[in-house]
């Protein structure tokens, strides 16, 4: 039976915790990583109702998109929503694991799922992370080259677009003289200068994957002291980032597009700005709070941008100097633009752990409601 740690490994390979935003708190929040899991419940948020549902299902684990614990708790008591629920989780022996902005940032993650929900085609990343790549260079004896190359590739080195394990190697000679306290792979302690036929390996690594890649390098390399260099790669955009952009099969009127958004996201009242007479085909999206990317979507040539948590003044960012809307922007709700994340995670984990039962919560976890008047 897999453990919580076993379930976390493919999630963290897909959405590395290091790619989460600085303010975020992802990973195991409550519980024992070594605990066996045969049933898990997936929800956008962990709430008392979700905990009760997990207990009724006999689940050992809740996997949430939003973390319950965003900031450090000074105590875990029955006072306060977060502290009280964390205490109840621990008392019920139900673990909580959160995968938040790291899932937002990964290709195929939250915004890609939102784009698919809206029926977009040819989906691509909207805004890739800049200056998040480094070049790792190391030197390996010829007879250990393949072991080291495959180890760092398995740890995440060499990902370029749709290609994995990308690397470049050149042959050369390495020189070293072991000190008296050394334990060399070649030569003897305090011995003569050594010359070894080696291969230089160069690989591209995303910054958040560097630590596990270096750990894999050191574990696979035969040398006591591993020589390696890490260089920043400037001006190159990572495959990770926020938002997504694609297009509808055919252009449609603004009214039809807004109806599409409302129906497919099961949204309440939509708040939007734009030209009521405009048409929409190229669409940008960002699940959750994506108002900071209105300008990015506009520069990308989007006819409409769907996200949430837009403030009043941010709606003016779609206007030109004459006050004419250059793009439609739609606030469909934070919960509504991320709710499909539950199914995304359920499908991903079910495929990899067929012996574990994954449930999607039956609860709408958002505390927000809309008032449409009195009948």
258-293: per-residue pLDDT in tens? 999 999 999 988 999 999 999 999 999 999 999 999
Say whether both 178 and 249 belong to one domain. no
CATH number at residue 69: 3.40.1390.30
Question: pLDDT per residue over 8-54, tens digit each?
Answer: 999 998 999 989 999 999 999 999 999 999 999 999 999 999 999 99
Mean pLDDT score, 290-299 = 97
Quick check: is 65 in a domain?
Answer: yes
Does residue 43 belong to any structural domain of this protein?
Answer: yes
Annotated binding residues for a divalent metal cation: 65-66, 104, 334, 338
3-class DSSP assignment, residue 125: strand
Q: What is the pLDDT of residues 124-177, one digit of tens each?
A: 999 988 878 999 999 999 999 999 999 999 999 998 878 999 999 999 998 988
Residue at token pair 């897909």: 14
> What are the structure tokens assigned to 117, written together?
């929900």
Distinct helix (H) and strand (E) counts, the chain: 10, 15
CA distances from 320 to 161, 324, 375 (A): 35, 5, 40
User: What are the pLDDT digits (tens) for 165-216?
Assistant: 999 999 999 898 888 888 888 888 888 888 889 999 999 999 888 999 999 9
Average pLDDT in the 350-367 region? 97
pLDDT higher than 90, residue 68: yes
DSSP-derived pairing of the beta strands 133-141 and 228-233: antiparallel
Assess whether 137 and 230 both reside in one domain. yes
Please indicate, yes or no, whether residues 230 and 351 belong to a single structural domain of this protein. no
Same-domain status, 138 and 96: no
Strand-pairing partners, residue 206, are 133
Asked whether 262 and 317 are in contact (CB, 8 A), the reply is no
Q: Contact 101/108 with Cβ under 8 angstroms?
A: no
- Structural domain harbouring 18: 4-102+340-360
Q: Is residue 217 part of a domain?
A: yes
Same domain for 29 and 64, yes or no, is yes
**Bridge-partner residues for 28, per DSSP?**
97
What is the DSSP-derived secondary structure letter of residue 202? E
| CATH number of the domain residue 159 falls in | 3.30.70.120
373 in a structural domain: no
How would residue 236 be classed by pLDDT, with cut points 50, 70 and 90?
Answer: low
Residues 184 and 270 in one domain: no
d(CA 170, CA 139): 10
Residue 372 lies in a domain: no
CA 44 to chain centre: 14
Running DSSP on this structure, what letter comes out for residue 110?
Answer: H
Residues 136, 123, single domain; the answer is no
Residue 240's nearest CA partner among 341, 100, 132, 349 is 132
Residues 198, 266: Cα–Cα separation, whole Å = 60
For residue 308, what are the β-bridge partners?
A: 289
Last residue of a domain, one of 173, 202, 234: 234
The whole-number pLDDT of residue 73 equals 85
Q: Is the pLDDT of residue 237 over 80?
A: no
For residue 127, the model assigns a pLDDT of 93
Residues 26 and 153 grouped into a single domain: no
End-to-end Cα spacing for the chain: 53
**Residue that is last in its domain, among 234, 253, 270:** 234
**């009214």: which residue's tokens?**
255
Residues 299, 344: one domain? no
Tokens of 337: 């633009």
Q: Which residues are annotated as a binding site?
A: 65-66, 104, 334, 338
Percent above pLDDT 70 for the chain: 99
Residue 234 has φ and ψ, to the nearest 5°, of -90, 140
Alpha-carbon gap, residue 337 to 359, rounded angstroms? 20
* Domain assignment present for 365: no
Number of domains in the chain: 3
Q: Is the pLDDT of residue 3 over 80?
A: yes
122 and 178 in a single domain? The answer is no
- Residue 268 sits in the same domain as residue 313: yes
Calpha distance 114→20 (Å, rounded): 19
Q: What is the pTM of this model?
A: 0.86
251 located within any domain = yes
Say which residue the tokens 């709070």 belong to.
289
Candidates 196, 198, 180, 200; CA nearest to 188 is: 180
CB 27 within 8 A of CB 112: no
Query: Is position 367 within any domain?
Result: no
Question: 262, 9, 281: which is closest to 122 by C-alpha?
Answer: 281
Single residue among 201, 234, 267 that ends a domain in this structure? 234
What's the Cα-to-Cα distance from 4 to each of 33, 38, 222, rounded to whole Å? 5, 10, 32
Q: Do 11 and 98 reside in the same domain of the chain?
A: yes
Give the distance from CA 330 to its chain's centroid: 23
């Amino acid at each position: 039976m897999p453990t919580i740690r076993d379930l976390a490994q493919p999630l963290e390979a897909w959405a590395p915790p290091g790619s989460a935003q600085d303010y975020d708190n992802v990973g195991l929040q409550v519980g024992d990583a070594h605990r066996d899991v045969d049933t898990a419940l997936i929800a956008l948020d962990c709430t008392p109702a979700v905990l009760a549902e997990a207990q009724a299902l006999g689940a050992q684990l809740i996997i949430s998109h939003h973390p319950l614990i965003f900031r450090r708790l000074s105590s875990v008591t029955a006072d306060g929503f977060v502290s009280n629920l964390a205490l109840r989780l621990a008392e019920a022996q139900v673990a909580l694991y959160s995968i938040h902005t790291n899932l937002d940032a990964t290709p195929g993650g939250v915004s890609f799922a939102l784009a698919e929900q809206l029926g977009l085609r040819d989906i691509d990343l909207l805004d890739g992370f800049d200056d998040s790549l480094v070049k790792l260079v190391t030197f390996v004896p010829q007879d250990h080259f393949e072991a080291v190359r495959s180890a760092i590739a398995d740890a995440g080195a060499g990902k370029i677009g749709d290609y994995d394990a990308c690397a470049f190697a050149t042959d050369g000679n390495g020189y070293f003289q072991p000190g008296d306290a050394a334990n060399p792979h070649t030569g003897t302690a305090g011995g003569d200068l050594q010359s070894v036929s080696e291969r230089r390996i160069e690989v591209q690594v995303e910054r958040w994957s560097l630590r596990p890649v270096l750990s894999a390098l050191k574990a696979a390399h035969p040398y006591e002291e591993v020589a390696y260099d890490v260089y920043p790669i400037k001006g190159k955009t990572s495959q990770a980032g926020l938002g997504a952009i694609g297009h509808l099969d055919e252009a449609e009127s603004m009214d039809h597009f807004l109806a599409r958004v409302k129906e497919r996201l099961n949204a309440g009242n939509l708040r939007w700005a734009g030209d009521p007479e405009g048409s929409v085909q190229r669409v940008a999206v960002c699940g959750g709070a994506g108002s900071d990317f209105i300008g990015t979507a506009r520069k990308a040539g989007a006819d409409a941008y769907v996200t949430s948590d837009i403030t009043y003044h941010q709606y003016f960012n779609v206007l030109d100097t004459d006050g004419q809307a250059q793009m439609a922007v739609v606030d469909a709700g934070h919960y509504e633009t991320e709710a499909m994340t539950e199914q995304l995670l359920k499908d991903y984990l079910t495929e990899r752990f067929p012996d574990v039962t994954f449930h999607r919560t039956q609860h709408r976890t958002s505390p927000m409601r809309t008032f449409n008047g009195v009948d």
